[in-house]
């Protein structure tokens, strides 16, 4: 039993790495989602083209391949990345591409009449986006952002392939040392579920707080 608590400690250490990857990956994905989503709505052709290329590329290729590129190929062209950085980049850019479509879709689904009211009140296009459209669109983004964050959490498992000792990597160490298969994998099953539960409940809480007294579907 004392031995098992040592192994549990190993898995929990992996869990910390997974949480770190998830948090940093989500931060990058969040930034990329807004850059990509606003880029696709830009008036400037160049910005639209860059954003579209980014989104289509990262949605259209596998996260495994993107990770291998970040870790194995980039060093060959003189950009060596630590496994952790490569993992964060691949996850953030990949999920950010999905998020960008959420940002774009949510902004477009704010009723056109809100835009017209802004014109009638003489807001600049920045003021319109900042004070009127974005606060309403953000609430619409939240549920899908929550899904994306959970996708990212589950996606972190792929980094075990580039030798990061995350929560999926550690049970395999435990298993090879103890021969016990069920316990380590049951442990991470529960841990993944608990972490995703934290994500979904906090996003739902945020959503509830922001939409208080709000009739989101109609103006």
Partner 1 sequence: MGGSDQPIIKIDKVSKSFGSLNVLNELSFDVEPGEKLALIGPSGSGKTTILRILMTLETIDSGHILVDGEELWHIPGNGGLVPANEKHLHHMREKIGMVFQLFNLFPHMTVLRNVTAAPMLTQNVPKEQAEKRAMALLDMVGLADKADAKPAQLSGGQKQRVAIARALALQPKIMLFDEVTSALDPELVEEVLNVMRRLAEETDMTMLLVTHEMQFARDFADRVLFFDAGRIVEQGPPKEIFSNPQEERTRTFLKKVIAAGHAI
Interface residues toward partner 1, by CB under 8 A: 113-114, 116-117, 119-124, 127, 131-132, 135-136, 139, 213-216, 218-219
Cβ(146)–Cβ(89) below 8 Å: no
- For residue 47, the minimal CB distance to partner 1 (Å) is 18
Instruction: Check residue 61 and report its DSSP letter.
Output: S
The candidate with the shortest Cα–Cα distance to 34, out of 145, 128, 119, is 145
**CB of 135 or CB of 205, closer to partner 1:** 135
- For residue 120, the minimal CB distance to partner 1 (Å) is 4
Tell me, rounded to whole angstroms, the distance of Cα 135 from its chain centroid: 20
**CB of 109 or CB of 181, closer to partner 1:** 109
Instruction: Check residue 43 and report its DSSP letter.
Output: S
**CB of 46 or CB of 218, closer to partner 1:** 218
The CA-based angle 16-22-26, given to 5 degrees, is 150
**CB of 53 or CB of 109, closer to partner 1:** 109
Q: Which two tokens stand for residue 8?
A: 């549990």
- For residue 209, the minimal CB distance to partner 1 (Å) is 12
Give CA–CA dist 80/124, Å, rounded: 44
**CB of 172 or CB of 211, closer to partner 1:** 211
Q: Which two tokens stand for residue 62?
A: 């596998």
- For residue 52, the minimal CB distance to partner 1 (Å) is 25
Give CA–CA dist 31/22, Å, rounded: 14
């Amino acid at each position: 039993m004392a031995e098992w608590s040592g192994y549990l400690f190993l898995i929990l250490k992996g869990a910390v790495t997974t949480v770190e990857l998830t948090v940093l990956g989500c931060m990058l994905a969040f930034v990329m989602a807004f850059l990509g989503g606003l880029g696709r709505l830009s008036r400037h052709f160049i910005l639209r083209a860059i954003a579209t290329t980014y989104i289509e590329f990262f949605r259209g290729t596998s996260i495994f391949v993107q990770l291998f590129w970040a870790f194995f190929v980039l060093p060959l062209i003189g950009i060596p990345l630590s496994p952790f950085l490569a993992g964060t980049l691949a996850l953030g850019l990949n999920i950010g591409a999905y998020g960008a479509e959420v940002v774009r879709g949510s902004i477009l689904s704010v009723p056109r009449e809100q835009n017209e009211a802004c014109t009638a009140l003489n807001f600049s296009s920045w003021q319109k986006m900042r004070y009127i459209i974005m606060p309403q669109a953000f609430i619409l983004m939240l549920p899908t952002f929550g899904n994306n964050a959970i996708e990212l959490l589950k996606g972190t498992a792929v980094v075990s392939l580039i030798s990061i000792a995350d929560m999926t990597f550690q049970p395999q160490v435990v298993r090879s040392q103890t021969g016990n298969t069920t316990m380590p994998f049951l442990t991470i099953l529960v841990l993944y579920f608990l972490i995703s539960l934290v994500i979904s409940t906090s996003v739902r809480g945020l959503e509830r707080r922001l939409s208080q007294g709000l009739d989101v579907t109609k103006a």
